[in-house]
Structure 1
Amino acid sequence: MSDVIFSTHPLHPEVTRDLRDLGTLVIASEPTPEAIIEESAGASIIVVRAPIPAEIFPREPELRAAVRHGAGLDMIPVEAATRAGVLVANVPGVNAVTVAEHCIWSALALLRKYPEVSADLRSGGWATARAHSDHGRELSGRTLGIVGMGNVGRALHRIAYHGFGMRVLALTSRPNDLPAGAEACDLTHLLAQSDVVALCCPLTDETRGLIGAAELARMREGAILVNVARGPVVDEAALLAALREGRLGGAAIDVFDRQPLPRDHPLLTLRTVILTPHMAGITEESMLRMGQGVVMETRRILAGDMPLNFCNPEVWPAYRSRFGMTA
Structure 2
Amino acid sequence: MRVVILDDGYDHYEAERAILAPLGASLVLSPCRGDAAAVRAALAGADAALVRESPVDAAAFAAAPGLRGLVRYGVGVDNIDLAAAAARRIPVCNVPDYGVEEVSDHALALLLAAARRLPMAEARVRSGGWGVPRAAPVFRLAGGTLGLIGLGRIGSAFLRKARALGFARVLIADPGLRRPPEGCELADALVVAEQADAISLHAPATPATRHIVDHAFLVRMKRNAVLVNTSRGALVDEAALAAALHKGLILGAGLDVFEVEPLPADSPLRGAPNLILTDHAAWYSEAAIVDLQRKAAEEIARMLRGEVPRHQVNRWE
Name the CA distance, whole Å, in 2 between partners of 1:312 and 1:215.
31
The SS at the match of 1:70 is coil
CA distance in 2, matches of 1:254, 1:216: 18
How far apart are residue 202 of structure 1 and its match?
0.8
Residues 30 and 19 (structure 1 numbering): CA distance in 2 closer, same or farther, change over 3 Å? Answer: farther
Corresponding position: 1:9 with 2:11: no
1:48 to 41, 51, 67: 51
SS across alignment from 2:316: helix
Q: Is the contact made by 2:238 and 2:268 (CA closer than 8 Å) also made in structure 1?
A: no
Question: 1:99 and 2:103 equivalent?
Answer: yes
**Which whole-Å deviations, capped at 9, do the CAs of 1:212-233 have from their partners, x for residues lacking one?**
1111000000211111222222
Cα separation, 1, equivalents of 2:157 and 2:205: 19
In the alignment, structure 1 segments of 5+ residues that lack a partner are: 316-327
Q: What is the match of residue 181 of structure 1?
A: 183
CA shift for structure 1 position 126: 4.1
Q: Aligned partners of 2:54 and 2:278: how far apart in 1?
A: 19
Name the residue aligned to 1:18.
Answer: 18
Displacement of 1:12 in angstroms is 6.4
1:76 equivalent in structure 2: 80
Residue 325 of structure 1: aligned partner = none
CA–CA distance in structure 1, aligned partners of residues 238 and 44 of structure 2: 36
Equivalent residue number for residue 233 of structure 1? 235
Which letter does structure 1 place at the counterpart of 2:77? L
Q: Work out the CA distance in 1 between the residues paired with 2:157 and 2:316.
A: 30
Q: Are the equivalent residues in 2 in contact too, given 1:19–1:25 (CA < 8 A)? A: no
Deviation at 1:270, TM superposition (A): 2.5
Q: 1:131 is paired with a residue of what secondary structure?
A: coil
CA-atom RMSD, angstroms?
Answer: 2.3
Which residue, 216, 219, 227 being the options, matches 1:217? 219
List per-residue Cα deviations over 1:35-60 (Å, max 9, x = no partner). Answer: 43444443222212214231211101
Mapped to 2, the partners of 1:271 and 1:19 lie a distance apart of: 48
| Mapped contact 2:171–2:184 kept (Cα < 8 A) | yes
Show the counterpart of 2:67: 63
With the length of structure 1 as denominator, give the TM-score of the two structures.
0.86
User: Partner residue of 2:173?
Assistant: 171
Structure 2 unmatched ranges of 5 or more: none
Displacement of 1:172 in angstroms is 1.4
The alpha carbon displacement at 1:199 in A equals 1.2
2:247 corresponds to 1:245: yes
Is 2:277 the counterpart of 1:275?
yes
Q: In the superposition, relative to structure 1, how do residues 5 and 170 fare at CA in structure 2: closer, same or farther (>3 Å)?
A: same
Q: Secondary structure at the match of 2:102?
A: helix
Alpha-carbon distance in 2 for matches of 1:26, 1:143: 50
Q: Determine if contact 2:70/2:300 at 8 Å carries over to the other structure.
A: no
Write 1 or 2 for the structure with the bigger share of helix: 1
Cα deviation code 1:15-50 (max 9, x no counterpart): 344356353223343532344344444322221221
SS at match of 1:191: helix
SS of residue matched to 1:268: helix
Q: In structure 2, how many angstroms separate the alpha carbons of the residues matched to 1:139 and 1:284?
A: 31
Given candidates 119, 129, 137, the residue that maps to 1:115 is: 119
Residue 175 of structure 1 deviates from its aligned partner by 4.3
Query: The residue matched to 1:176 in structure 2 has which SS?
Result: coil
Residue 321 of structure 1: aligned partner? none
What is the letter of the counterpart of residue 50 of structure 2? V
Farther-moved stretch of structure 1 (214-223 vs 22-31): 22-31
TM-score (normalised: structure 2): 0.88
Separation (CA, whole Å) in 2 of partners of 1:86 and 1:141: 49
Structure 1's consecutive aligned runs of 4 or more residues displaced over 4 angstroms after TM superposition are none
Larger mean Cα displacement after TM superposition, 14-23 or 202-211: 14-23
One-letter amino acid of the counterpart of residue 164, structure 1? L
**Residue 95 of structure 1, CA deviation:** 2.2
Judged with a 3 Å threshold, the aligned counterparts in structure 2 of structure 1 residues 12 and 295 are, in CA distance, closer, same or farther, namely farther
**SS at 2:302's partner residue?**
helix
For 2:173, give the aligned amino acid: L
Which has the larger displacement, 246-255 or 47-56?
47-56
For residue 121 of structure 1, report the CA deviation from its aligned partner.
Answer: 3.1
Count of matched residue pairs: 310
Paired position in structure 2 for 1:302: 304
SS at match of 1:15: helix
Secondary structure of the corresponding residue to residue 253 of structure 2 = strand
Secondary structure of the structure 2 residue equivalent to 1:18: helix
Could you tell me whether the CA contact under 8 Å between 2:32 and 2:54 is conserved in 1? no
